[in-house]
Amino acid sequence: MVDFRAAARWGDPADAVALPAAVRSLLATALGVRTPPPAPTPAADPAAGLPVSGLGQPALAALRDACGDVRTDDAARLTHAAGRSTVDLLRLRTGDASGAPDAVVRPADHHEVVAVLRACAAHSLAAVPFGGGTSVVGGLRPRRNGYAGVVAVDLARLDRLIGVDPVSRTATFQAGVRAPRAEELLAGHGLTLGHFPQSYEFATLGGFAATRSSGQASAGYGRFDQLVLGLRAATPAGTLDLGRAPASAAGPDLRQLLLGSEGAFGVITELTLQVRPAPADRRYAGWAFPSFGDGVDALRALAQDGPLPTVLRLSDETETAVGAATGGPDTGVGCLAIVGFEGAVADVSARRAATESVLRERGATPLGADPGIAWERDRFRAPYLRDALLDAGAIVETLETATFWRRLPDTRAAVAAALVASLSKAGTPPLVMCHVSHVYPSGASLYFTVVAAQAGDPVGQWETAKAAAGDAIVAAGATISHHHGVGRDHLRWYADEIGPAGVLALRAVKRALDPDGVLNPGILVP
Protein backbone atom coordinates (compact mmCIF):
# COMPACT_ATOMS: atom_id res chain seq x y z
CA MET A 1 0.00 0.00 0.00
CA VAL A 2 1.20 3.56 -0.76
CA ASP A 3 -0.02 6.80 0.74
CA PHE A 4 -1.17 9.39 -1.81
CA ARG A 5 -2.08 12.10 0.71
CA ALA A 6 1.26 13.95 0.87
CA ALA A 7 1.94 13.45 -2.85
CA ALA A 8 -1.32 15.21 -3.70
CA ARG A 9 -0.50 18.40 -1.79
CA TRP A 10 2.05 21.19 -1.86
CA GLY A 11 5.07 21.38 0.37
CA ASP A 12 5.29 20.63 4.08
CA PRO A 13 2.05 19.29 5.64
CA ALA A 14 2.93 21.21 8.81
CA ASP A 15 2.43 24.46 6.90
CA ALA A 16 -1.04 23.61 5.57
CA VAL A 17 -3.59 26.39 5.94
CA ALA A 18 -7.30 26.42 6.76
CA LEU A 19 -9.67 28.57 4.76
CA PRO A 20 -10.84 31.65 6.67
CA ALA A 21 -14.60 32.00 7.09
CA ALA A 22 -14.52 35.04 4.79
CA VAL A 23 -13.05 32.97 1.98
CA ARG A 24 -15.63 30.19 2.41
CA SER A 25 -18.38 32.78 2.31
CA LEU A 26 -16.94 34.35 -0.83
CA LEU A 27 -16.69 30.96 -2.53
CA ALA A 28 -20.32 30.19 -1.76
CA THR A 29 -21.86 33.55 -2.63
CA ALA A 30 -19.74 34.55 -5.62
CA LEU A 31 -18.94 31.21 -7.23
CA GLY A 32 -21.50 28.72 -5.97
CA VAL A 33 -18.93 26.47 -4.32
CA ARG A 34 -20.97 24.54 -1.78
CA THR A 35 -20.29 20.82 -1.74
CA PRO A 36 -16.71 19.68 -1.21
CA PRO A 37 -15.54 16.78 -3.36
CA PRO A 38 -14.49 13.51 -1.72
CA ALA A 39 -11.41 13.85 0.47
CA PRO A 40 -8.06 13.01 -1.14
CA THR A 41 -7.51 9.27 -1.34
CA PRO A 42 -5.52 8.36 1.79
CA ALA A 43 -4.13 5.18 0.36
CA ALA A 44 -4.46 3.11 -2.75
CA ASP A 45 -3.50 -0.28 -4.05
CA PRO A 46 -0.41 0.21 -6.25
CA ALA A 47 -2.06 -1.86 -8.93
CA ALA A 48 -4.90 0.67 -9.11
CA GLY A 49 -3.00 3.92 -9.57
CA LEU A 50 0.73 3.25 -9.37
CA PRO A 51 1.87 0.95 -12.17
CA VAL A 52 4.36 -1.76 -11.34
CA SER A 53 7.89 -0.83 -12.38
CA GLY A 54 8.48 -2.35 -15.79
CA LEU A 55 12.28 -2.15 -15.97
CA GLY A 56 13.98 -5.30 -17.16
CA GLN A 57 16.98 -6.68 -15.31
CA PRO A 58 19.56 -5.67 -17.95
CA ALA A 59 18.41 -2.04 -17.83
CA LEU A 60 18.28 -2.04 -14.04
CA ALA A 61 21.77 -3.53 -13.84
CA ALA A 62 23.11 -0.86 -16.21
CA LEU A 63 21.61 1.90 -14.06
CA ARG A 64 23.16 0.38 -10.94
CA ASP A 65 26.52 0.18 -12.65
CA ALA A 66 26.21 3.89 -13.49
CA CYS A 67 24.94 5.09 -10.12
CA GLY A 68 25.10 3.66 -6.61
CA ASP A 69 21.67 4.99 -5.60
CA VAL A 70 18.84 3.42 -7.63
CA ARG A 71 15.37 2.94 -6.18
CA THR A 72 12.32 1.18 -7.56
CA ASP A 73 10.17 1.13 -4.41
CA ASP A 74 6.66 2.58 -4.53
CA ALA A 75 7.37 5.46 -2.14
CA ALA A 76 10.28 6.83 -4.18
CA ARG A 77 8.40 6.45 -7.44
CA LEU A 78 5.28 8.15 -6.07
CA THR A 79 7.18 11.22 -4.89
CA HIS A 80 8.52 11.64 -8.44
CA ALA A 81 5.20 10.94 -10.19
CA ALA A 82 4.11 14.47 -11.05
CA GLY A 83 4.77 18.17 -10.86
CA ARG A 84 2.66 20.62 -8.90
CA SER A 85 0.13 22.03 -11.33
CA THR A 86 -3.52 21.86 -10.29
CA VAL A 87 -4.06 19.16 -12.90
CA ASP A 88 -1.18 17.14 -11.42
CA LEU A 89 -2.66 17.42 -7.93
CA LEU A 90 -6.21 16.62 -9.05
CA ARG A 91 -5.01 13.42 -10.69
CA LEU A 92 -3.02 12.38 -7.64
CA ARG A 93 -6.04 13.10 -5.43
CA THR A 94 -7.95 10.38 -7.26
CA GLY A 95 -5.10 7.92 -6.74
CA ASP A 96 -3.84 8.27 -10.31
CA ALA A 97 -0.04 8.07 -10.24
CA SER A 98 0.32 6.76 -13.78
CA GLY A 99 3.07 9.32 -14.36
CA ALA A 100 5.38 7.64 -11.86
CA PRO A 101 8.82 6.68 -13.20
CA ASP A 102 9.94 3.06 -13.26
CA ALA A 103 13.05 3.95 -11.25
CA VAL A 104 14.58 6.89 -9.39
CA VAL A 105 18.33 7.36 -9.62
CA ARG A 106 20.27 9.82 -7.46
CA PRO A 107 23.72 10.43 -8.97
CA ALA A 108 26.49 11.62 -6.64
CA ASP A 109 28.32 13.82 -9.16
CA HIS A 110 28.51 14.99 -12.75
CA HIS A 111 30.27 11.84 -13.96
CA GLU A 112 27.52 9.62 -12.59
CA VAL A 113 24.94 11.76 -14.39
CA VAL A 114 26.81 11.20 -17.66
CA ALA A 115 26.95 7.46 -16.98
CA VAL A 116 23.22 7.35 -16.19
CA LEU A 117 22.35 9.11 -19.44
CA ARG A 118 24.49 6.68 -21.41
CA ALA A 119 22.77 3.75 -19.71
CA CYS A 120 19.39 5.27 -20.57
CA ALA A 121 20.41 5.71 -24.20
CA ALA A 122 21.68 2.14 -24.40
CA HIS A 123 18.45 0.69 -23.01
CA SER A 124 15.93 3.14 -24.49
CA LEU A 125 14.90 4.66 -21.18
CA ALA A 126 13.42 8.15 -21.00
CA ALA A 127 15.47 10.22 -18.53
CA VAL A 128 13.60 12.97 -16.66
CA PRO A 129 15.79 15.44 -14.71
CA PHE A 130 14.23 16.10 -11.31
CA GLY A 131 15.13 19.03 -9.06
CA GLY A 132 12.44 20.20 -6.67
CA GLY A 133 9.55 18.72 -8.67
CA THR A 134 7.70 22.05 -8.78
CA SER A 135 6.89 22.23 -12.51
CA VAL A 136 3.39 23.56 -13.21
CA VAL A 137 3.44 23.01 -16.99
CA GLY A 138 3.75 19.23 -17.28
CA GLY A 139 7.54 19.31 -17.35
CA LEU A 140 7.73 15.97 -15.50
CA ARG A 141 5.32 14.11 -17.80
CA PRO A 142 7.49 12.75 -20.63
CA ARG A 143 6.26 10.89 -23.67
CA ARG A 144 6.39 7.16 -22.84
CA ASN A 145 5.54 5.57 -26.18
CA GLY A 146 8.58 4.00 -27.79
CA TYR A 147 10.58 3.71 -24.55
CA ALA A 148 11.29 0.68 -22.41
CA GLY A 149 10.78 2.72 -19.25
CA VAL A 150 11.10 6.11 -17.54
CA VAL A 151 13.86 7.07 -15.10
CA ALA A 152 13.75 10.11 -12.80
CA VAL A 153 17.26 11.56 -12.49
CA ASP A 154 17.05 13.20 -9.06
CA LEU A 155 19.88 15.69 -8.42
CA ALA A 156 19.36 15.94 -4.65
CA ARG A 157 22.86 14.60 -3.91
CA LEU A 158 24.49 17.33 -6.01
CA ASP A 159 24.05 19.73 -3.11
CA ARG A 160 27.38 21.50 -2.53
CA LEU A 161 28.62 25.05 -2.74
CA ILE A 162 31.80 24.46 -4.72
CA GLY A 163 33.36 27.86 -4.21
CA VAL A 164 32.95 31.61 -3.84
CA ASP A 165 34.97 34.26 -5.67
CA PRO A 166 34.51 37.44 -3.57
CA VAL A 167 36.59 39.51 -5.98
CA SER A 168 34.37 38.70 -8.98
CA ARG A 169 31.30 38.25 -6.77
CA THR A 170 30.47 34.85 -8.16
CA ALA A 171 29.55 31.56 -6.52
CA THR A 172 29.69 28.08 -8.05
CA PHE A 173 27.11 25.53 -6.93
CA GLN A 174 26.14 22.01 -7.82
CA ALA A 175 22.74 22.14 -9.47
CA GLY A 176 20.79 20.15 -6.88
CA VAL A 177 21.16 22.77 -4.14
CA ARG A 178 17.74 24.00 -3.03
CA ALA A 179 17.19 27.74 -2.94
CA PRO A 180 16.93 28.17 0.87
CA ARG A 181 20.12 26.17 1.32
CA ALA A 182 21.88 28.30 -1.29
CA GLU A 183 20.92 31.46 0.58
CA GLU A 184 22.06 29.91 3.86
CA LEU A 185 25.44 28.99 2.38
CA LEU A 186 25.90 32.42 0.80
CA ALA A 187 24.91 34.20 4.00
CA GLY A 188 28.08 32.85 5.57
CA HIS A 189 29.98 34.95 3.03
CA GLY A 190 27.74 38.01 3.42
CA LEU A 191 26.18 37.39 -0.02
CA THR A 192 22.81 36.63 -1.63
CA LEU A 193 21.36 35.55 -4.96
CA GLY A 194 18.19 37.54 -4.34
CA HIS A 195 16.09 34.99 -6.22
CA PHE A 196 12.77 34.31 -4.49
CA PRO A 197 10.09 32.81 -6.76
CA GLN A 198 6.96 31.28 -5.24
CA SER A 199 8.62 27.84 -5.56
CA TYR A 200 11.59 29.12 -3.52
CA GLU A 201 11.16 26.78 -0.55
CA PHE A 202 11.51 23.61 -2.64
CA ALA A 203 13.02 24.39 -6.06
CA THR A 204 16.69 23.86 -6.96
CA LEU A 205 19.20 26.12 -8.64
CA GLY A 206 19.41 23.78 -11.62
CA GLY A 207 15.64 23.91 -11.95
CA PHE A 208 15.70 27.70 -11.92
CA ALA A 209 18.18 27.69 -14.80
CA ALA A 210 16.40 24.99 -16.79
CA THR A 211 13.11 26.93 -16.69
CA ARG A 212 14.35 30.55 -16.85
CA SER A 213 12.82 31.24 -13.47
CA SER A 214 11.95 34.79 -12.45
CA GLY A 215 11.83 35.69 -8.77
CA GLN A 216 9.58 38.11 -6.94
CA ALA A 217 12.48 40.57 -6.60
CA SER A 218 13.34 40.45 -10.29
CA ALA A 219 13.14 44.23 -10.70
CA GLY A 220 16.17 44.57 -8.45
CA TYR A 221 18.10 41.31 -8.84
CA GLY A 222 17.11 40.23 -12.37
CA ARG A 223 15.79 36.96 -13.74
CA PHE A 224 17.69 33.82 -12.83
CA ASP A 225 19.03 33.34 -16.37
CA GLN A 226 20.66 36.78 -16.07
CA LEU A 227 22.57 35.53 -13.02
CA VAL A 228 24.07 32.51 -14.82
CA LEU A 229 27.65 33.22 -15.85
CA GLY A 230 28.74 29.63 -16.44
CA LEU A 231 27.31 26.15 -16.38
CA ARG A 232 28.19 22.52 -16.79
CA ALA A 233 25.76 20.04 -18.32
CA ALA A 234 25.74 16.31 -18.97
CA THR A 235 24.35 15.13 -22.29
CA PRO A 236 24.30 11.72 -23.98
CA ALA A 237 26.77 13.21 -26.47
CA GLY A 238 29.19 14.34 -23.74
CA THR A 239 29.83 17.22 -21.37
CA LEU A 240 29.24 20.91 -22.02
CA ASP A 241 31.37 23.40 -20.05
CA LEU A 242 30.15 26.88 -20.93
CA GLY A 243 30.93 30.41 -19.79
CA ARG A 244 34.52 31.66 -19.38
CA ALA A 245 33.91 35.38 -18.95
CA PRO A 246 31.12 37.82 -18.04
CA ALA A 247 30.65 38.51 -21.76
CA SER A 248 32.08 37.11 -24.97
CA ALA A 249 32.02 37.63 -28.73
CA ALA A 250 33.15 34.04 -29.36
CA GLY A 251 30.17 33.01 -31.43
CA PRO A 252 26.58 32.40 -30.26
CA ASP A 253 26.19 31.98 -26.51
CA LEU A 254 25.69 28.24 -26.10
CA ARG A 255 24.62 28.72 -22.49
CA GLN A 256 21.31 29.83 -23.93
CA LEU A 257 20.73 26.32 -25.28
CA LEU A 258 20.60 24.99 -21.72
CA LEU A 259 18.88 27.94 -20.03
CA GLY A 260 15.19 27.24 -20.45
CA SER A 261 15.82 23.82 -22.00
CA GLU A 262 13.80 21.96 -19.32
CA GLY A 263 16.07 18.92 -19.45
CA ALA A 264 15.43 18.25 -23.13
CA PHE A 265 19.03 18.97 -24.23
CA GLY A 266 21.04 18.05 -21.15
CA VAL A 267 21.12 17.84 -17.37
CA ILE A 268 22.62 20.92 -15.74
CA THR A 269 24.95 19.76 -12.97
CA GLU A 270 26.88 22.91 -12.01
CA LEU A 271 26.29 26.66 -12.13
CA THR A 272 28.46 29.73 -11.65
CA LEU A 273 26.20 32.57 -10.56
CA GLN A 274 26.44 36.30 -10.03
CA VAL A 275 25.93 37.13 -6.35
CA ARG A 276 25.55 40.38 -4.44
CA PRO A 277 26.16 41.61 -0.92
CA ALA A 278 23.37 40.61 1.42
CA PRO A 279 21.12 43.65 1.90
CA ALA A 280 21.71 45.71 5.02
CA ASP A 281 18.25 47.24 4.77
CA ARG A 282 14.83 46.02 3.55
CA ARG A 283 11.79 48.25 3.24
CA TYR A 284 8.43 47.20 1.79
CA ALA A 285 5.29 49.33 1.57
CA GLY A 286 1.84 49.41 0.00
CA TRP A 287 0.48 52.01 -2.40
CA ALA A 288 -3.02 52.46 -3.79
CA PHE A 289 -3.81 53.51 -7.36
CA PRO A 290 -7.24 54.67 -8.57
CA SER A 291 -7.19 52.06 -11.36
CA PHE A 292 -5.08 49.29 -12.87
CA GLY A 293 -4.34 51.52 -15.85
CA ASP A 294 -3.01 54.25 -13.57
CA GLY A 295 -0.81 51.72 -11.79
CA VAL A 296 0.53 50.29 -15.05
CA ASP A 297 1.47 53.78 -16.22
CA ALA A 298 3.42 54.34 -13.00
CA LEU A 299 5.20 50.98 -13.23
CA ARG A 300 6.16 51.76 -16.82
CA ALA A 301 7.60 55.13 -15.77
CA LEU A 302 9.73 53.48 -13.10
CA ALA A 303 10.86 50.66 -15.43
CA GLN A 304 11.82 53.04 -18.22
CA ASP A 305 13.14 56.09 -16.42
CA GLY A 306 13.84 54.88 -12.89
CA PRO A 307 14.43 54.67 -10.09
CA LEU A 308 13.69 50.95 -10.07
CA PRO A 309 12.64 49.32 -6.78
CA THR A 310 13.78 45.80 -5.89
CA VAL A 311 10.20 44.52 -5.73
CA LEU A 312 7.48 46.08 -7.87
CA ARG A 313 4.08 44.45 -8.29
CA LEU A 314 0.57 45.69 -9.01
CA SER A 315 -2.72 43.84 -8.40
CA ASP A 316 -5.79 44.61 -10.49
CA GLU A 317 -9.09 45.72 -8.99
CA THR A 318 -10.41 42.17 -8.56
CA GLU A 319 -7.27 40.80 -6.91
CA THR A 320 -7.13 43.85 -4.64
CA ALA A 321 -10.79 43.50 -3.62
CA VAL A 322 -10.48 39.77 -2.96
CA GLY A 323 -7.39 40.42 -0.87
CA ALA A 324 -9.20 43.04 1.19
CA ALA A 325 -12.23 40.75 1.67
CA THR A 326 -10.02 37.97 2.98
CA GLY A 327 -8.00 39.97 5.47
CA GLY A 328 -5.55 41.79 3.22
CA PRO A 329 -4.95 45.55 2.89
CA ASP A 330 -8.09 47.58 2.21
CA THR A 331 -7.40 50.30 -0.35
CA GLY A 332 -11.03 51.41 -0.38
CA VAL A 333 -11.16 51.41 -4.17
CA GLY A 334 -8.63 50.83 -6.90
CA CYS A 335 -5.51 48.70 -6.98
CA LEU A 336 -2.80 47.70 -4.54
CA ALA A 337 0.87 47.97 -5.40
CA ILE A 338 3.70 46.51 -3.34
CA VAL A 339 6.95 48.44 -3.61
CA GLY A 340 10.07 47.11 -1.93
CA PHE A 341 13.71 48.11 -1.62
CA GLU A 342 16.75 46.08 -0.58
CA GLY A 343 20.39 47.08 -0.37
CA ALA A 344 22.74 49.37 1.49
CA VAL A 345 21.02 51.75 3.90
CA ALA A 346 21.92 54.90 1.97
CA ASP A 347 20.93 53.35 -1.37
CA VAL A 348 17.56 52.18 -0.04
CA SER A 349 16.85 55.60 1.44
CA ALA A 350 17.69 57.43 -1.79
CA ARG A 351 15.72 55.10 -4.06
CA ARG A 352 12.70 55.13 -1.74
CA ALA A 353 12.53 58.89 -1.73
CA ALA A 354 12.89 59.19 -5.50
CA THR A 355 10.36 56.40 -6.14
CA GLU A 356 7.81 57.89 -3.76
CA SER A 357 8.04 61.15 -5.67
CA VAL A 358 7.23 59.37 -8.95
CA LEU A 359 4.36 57.42 -7.39
CA ARG A 360 2.75 60.52 -5.88
CA GLU A 361 3.05 62.34 -9.21
CA ARG A 362 1.19 59.42 -10.81
CA GLY A 363 -1.70 59.61 -8.37
CA ALA A 364 -0.74 56.88 -5.90
CA THR A 365 -1.70 57.04 -2.23
CA PRO A 366 0.73 55.66 0.39
CA LEU A 367 -0.64 52.89 2.61
CA GLY A 368 2.38 52.55 4.88
CA ALA A 369 4.59 49.59 5.70
CA ASP A 370 1.93 47.12 6.92
CA PRO A 371 0.79 45.90 3.44
CA GLY A 372 4.43 45.36 2.43
CA ILE A 373 5.26 43.50 5.63
CA ALA A 374 2.18 41.28 5.19
CA TRP A 375 3.07 40.52 1.58
CA GLU A 376 6.66 39.58 2.48
CA ARG A 377 5.43 37.35 5.31
CA ASP A 378 2.87 35.49 3.19
CA ARG A 379 4.51 35.46 -0.24
CA PHE A 380 5.12 31.68 -0.31
CA ARG A 381 1.67 30.84 1.11
CA ALA A 382 -0.45 30.75 -2.07
CA PRO A 383 0.23 27.09 -3.01
CA TYR A 384 -0.90 25.99 0.45
CA LEU A 385 -4.05 28.06 0.04
CA ARG A 386 -4.66 26.29 -3.25
CA ASP A 387 -4.74 22.93 -1.43
CA ALA A 388 -7.39 24.28 0.94
CA LEU A 389 -9.45 25.64 -1.96
CA LEU A 390 -9.32 22.29 -3.75
CA ASP A 391 -10.47 20.62 -0.53
CA ALA A 392 -13.43 23.01 -0.39
CA GLY A 393 -14.64 22.18 -3.90
CA ALA A 394 -13.09 25.04 -5.86
CA ILE A 395 -10.68 24.78 -8.73
CA VAL A 396 -7.84 27.28 -8.65
CA GLU A 397 -4.91 27.67 -11.00
CA THR A 398 -2.55 30.27 -12.39
CA LEU A 399 -1.16 31.12 -15.80
CA GLU A 400 1.13 33.88 -17.00
CA THR A 401 2.46 35.68 -20.02
CA ALA A 402 4.42 38.80 -20.93
CA THR A 403 4.06 41.42 -23.62
CA PHE A 404 5.06 44.95 -24.61
CA TRP A 405 3.57 47.87 -22.69
CA ARG A 406 1.43 48.98 -25.64
CA ARG A 407 -0.22 45.54 -25.86
CA LEU A 408 -0.61 45.00 -22.13
CA PRO A 409 -4.21 46.26 -21.66
CA ASP A 410 -5.59 44.36 -24.66
CA THR A 411 -3.75 41.17 -23.73
CA ARG A 412 -5.09 41.27 -20.19
CA ALA A 413 -8.63 41.84 -21.39
CA ALA A 414 -8.48 39.09 -24.03
CA VAL A 415 -7.09 36.42 -21.69
CA ALA A 416 -9.57 37.26 -18.93
CA ALA A 417 -12.46 37.18 -21.41
CA ALA A 418 -11.38 33.79 -22.75
CA LEU A 419 -11.22 32.32 -19.24
CA VAL A 420 -14.61 33.74 -18.27
CA ALA A 421 -16.26 32.50 -21.48
CA SER A 422 -14.83 28.98 -21.22
CA LEU A 423 -15.60 28.42 -17.56
CA SER A 424 -19.03 30.07 -17.76
CA LYS A 425 -19.91 27.75 -20.65
CA ALA A 426 -19.06 24.85 -18.32
CA GLY A 427 -21.55 26.23 -15.80
CA THR A 428 -18.83 27.48 -13.43
CA PRO A 429 -18.39 31.24 -13.92
CA PRO A 430 -14.98 32.17 -12.51
CA LEU A 431 -13.25 34.87 -10.57
CA VAL A 432 -10.26 36.02 -12.66
CA MET A 433 -7.55 38.04 -10.94
CA CYS A 434 -4.40 39.52 -12.46
CA HIS A 435 -1.21 41.21 -11.35
CA VAL A 436 2.02 42.56 -12.80
CA SER A 437 5.10 41.31 -10.97
CA HIS A 438 7.99 41.58 -13.45
CA VAL A 439 8.77 44.75 -15.37
CA TYR A 440 11.17 45.75 -18.15
CA PRO A 441 11.76 48.99 -20.06
CA SER A 442 9.74 47.61 -22.98
CA GLY A 443 7.02 45.60 -21.24
CA ALA A 444 5.87 43.49 -18.33
CA SER A 445 4.41 40.18 -17.23
CA LEU A 446 0.74 39.42 -16.55
CA TYR A 447 0.00 36.76 -13.94
CA PHE A 448 -3.57 35.44 -13.76
CA THR A 449 -5.18 33.54 -10.88
CA VAL A 450 -8.45 31.79 -11.67
CA VAL A 451 -10.97 30.43 -9.14
CA ALA A 452 -14.22 28.62 -9.96
CA ALA A 453 -16.43 25.88 -8.64
CA GLN A 454 -15.22 22.43 -9.65
CA ALA A 455 -17.19 20.77 -12.43
CA GLY A 456 -17.78 17.03 -12.62
CA ASP A 457 -14.51 16.63 -14.52
CA PRO A 458 -12.24 19.33 -13.06
CA VAL A 459 -9.22 18.21 -15.09
CA GLY A 460 -11.12 18.57 -18.36
CA GLN A 461 -12.72 21.77 -17.08
CA TRP A 462 -9.34 23.43 -16.54
CA GLU A 463 -7.65 22.03 -19.64
CA THR A 464 -10.42 23.51 -21.79
CA ALA A 465 -10.14 26.88 -20.07
CA LYS A 466 -6.34 26.86 -20.30
CA ALA A 467 -6.55 26.11 -24.03
CA ALA A 468 -8.85 29.11 -24.54
CA ALA A 469 -6.43 31.31 -22.61
CA GLY A 470 -3.46 30.01 -24.61
CA ASP A 471 -5.23 30.80 -27.87
CA ALA A 472 -5.98 34.31 -26.61
CA ILE A 473 -2.34 34.86 -25.61
CA VAL A 474 -1.07 33.84 -29.05
CA ALA A 475 -3.73 35.93 -30.83
CA ALA A 476 -2.66 38.96 -28.76
CA GLY A 477 0.97 38.54 -29.85
CA ALA A 478 2.20 37.78 -26.32
CA THR A 479 4.52 34.97 -25.21
CA ILE A 480 3.01 31.71 -24.05
CA SER A 481 5.12 31.83 -20.88
CA HIS A 482 7.13 34.45 -19.02
CA HIS A 483 8.57 32.17 -16.31
CA HIS A 484 6.61 28.93 -15.90
CA GLY A 485 8.18 27.40 -19.00
CA VAL A 486 6.93 25.31 -21.91
CA GLY A 487 6.86 21.76 -20.56
CA ARG A 488 4.20 19.65 -22.18
CA ASP A 489 1.23 21.92 -21.52
CA HIS A 490 2.41 24.85 -23.68
CA LEU A 491 3.98 22.86 -26.48
CA ARG A 492 1.54 23.60 -29.31
CA TRP A 493 1.53 27.36 -28.64
CA TYR A 494 5.30 27.42 -28.33
CA ALA A 495 5.60 25.87 -31.78
CA ASP A 496 3.47 28.69 -33.15
CA GLU A 497 5.55 31.28 -31.28
CA ILE A 498 8.92 30.19 -32.70
CA GLY A 499 7.64 29.21 -36.15
CA PRO A 500 8.58 26.29 -38.44
CA ALA A 501 12.23 27.32 -38.82
CA GLY A 502 12.56 27.62 -35.05
CA VAL A 503 11.12 24.14 -34.59
CA LEU A 504 13.66 22.75 -37.07
CA ALA A 505 16.49 24.44 -35.15
CA LEU A 506 15.37 22.94 -31.82
CA ARG A 507 15.08 19.49 -33.37
CA ALA A 508 18.58 19.79 -34.82
CA VAL A 509 20.01 20.65 -31.38
CA LYS A 510 18.11 17.72 -29.90
CA ARG A 511 19.57 15.32 -32.47
CA ALA A 512 23.11 16.62 -31.87
CA LEU A 513 23.09 16.45 -28.07
CA ASP A 514 20.60 13.62 -27.54
CA PRO A 515 20.74 11.42 -30.65
CA ASP A 516 18.62 8.66 -29.11
CA GLY A 517 16.03 11.14 -27.86
CA VAL A 518 16.01 9.92 -24.24
CA LEU A 519 16.12 13.31 -22.47
CA ASN A 520 12.63 14.28 -21.29
CA PRO A 521 10.93 13.25 -24.55
CA GLY A 522 7.83 15.24 -25.47
CA ILE A 523 8.93 18.23 -23.39
CA LEU A 524 9.87 21.60 -24.97
CA VAL A 525 10.71 20.30 -28.46
CA PRO A 526 7.64 20.27 -30.78
- CATH of residue 471's domain is 3.30.300.330
Same domain, 205 and 303: no
Q: Using 50, 70 and 90 to split pLDDT, how confident is the model at 7?
A: confident
Same domain, 112 and 29: yes
pLDDT at residue 293 is higher than 50 = yes
How does 273-294 read in b/e, with b if 16+ C-beta sit within 10 Å? bbbbeebeeebbbbbbbbebeb
Among 378, 413, 444, residue at a domain's last position: 378
In tens, the pLDDT along 45-72 reads: 544 578 899 899 999 999 999 999 999 9
Q: Within a domain: residue 510?
A: no
Q: Within a domain: residue 178?
A: yes
Same domain, 10 and 150: yes
Among 378, 403, 418, residue at a domain's last position: 378
What's the average model confidence in pLDDT over 170-175? 98
pLDDT at 330: 80
What's the average model confidence in pLDDT over 433-449? 98
In tens, the pLDDT along 353-395 reads: 999 999 999 999 999 999 999 999 999 999 999 999 999 999 9
Same domain, 121 and 222: no
- List, in order, residues 6 or more apart from 370 with CB less than 8 Å away: 286, 329
pLDDT at 356: 97
Q: Which pTM does this prediction carry?
A: 0.95
Same domain, 235 and 135: no
* CATH code of residue 16: 3.30.43.10
What's the average model confidence in pLDDT over 85-99? 94
- DSSP SS3 for 149: strand
- DSSP SS3 for 523: coil
Same domain, 128 and 34: yes
Q: Within a domain: residue 502?
A: no
What's the average model confidence in pLDDT over 20-34? 88
pLDDT at residue 447 is higher than 60 = yes
What's the average model confidence in pLDDT over 434-460? 97
pLDDT at 38: 61
**Distance between CA atoms of residues 220 and 425, nearest Å:** 42
pLDDT at residue 3 is higher than 90 = no
Q: Within a domain: residue 521?
A: no
- Of 270, 268, 269, 263, nearest to 517 by C-alpha is 263
Same domain, 363 and 289: yes
In tens, the pLDDT along 241-263 reads: 999 999 999 999 999 999 999 99
pLDDT at 42: 47
**Distance between CA atoms of residues 171 and 182, nearest Å:** 10
Same domain, 369 and 396: no
pLDDT at 26: 86
User: How many structural domains are present in the chain?
Assistant: 4
How does 504-525 read in b/e, with b if 16+ C-beta sit within 10 Å? eebeebbeebbebbbbbbbbbb
Q: Using 50, 70 and 90 to split pLDDT, how confident is the model at 401?
A: very high
Q: Within a domain: residue 518?
A: no
Q: Within a domain: residue 487?
A: no
**Distance between CA atoms of residues 273 and 226, nearest Å:** 9
Domain of 201, in residue numbers: 161-277
* CATH code of residue 222: 3.30.465.10
Same domain, 36 and 149: yes
Same domain, 14 and 148: yes
Phi and psi at residue 31, in whole multiples of 5°? -120, -5
Q: What percent of the chain has pLDDT over 90?
A: 90
Q: Using 50, 70 and 90 to split pLDDT, how confident is the model at 325?
A: confident
In tens, the pLDDT along 218-237 reads: 999 999 999 999 999 999 99
Any alpha helices (H) in 27-151, and if so which ranges?
A: 46-49, 57-66, 74-79, 86-93, 110-122
Same domain, 310 and 241: no
CB 337 within 8 A of CB 451: no
Lowest-pLDDT choice from 111-125, 200-214, 315-329, 443-457: 315-329
What's the average model confidence in pLDDT over 22-48? 71
Among 91, 126, 154, residue at a domain's last position: 154
* CATH code of residue 320: 3.30.70.3450
Beta bridge partner(s), residue 504? none
Q: Within a domain: residue 432?
A: yes
What's the average model confidence in pLDDT over 451-455? 96
Q: Using 50, 70 and 90 to split pLDDT, how confident is the model at 25?
A: confident
What's the average model confidence in pLDDT over 433-461? 97
Same domain, 259 and 352: no
Q: Within a domain: residue 483?
A: no
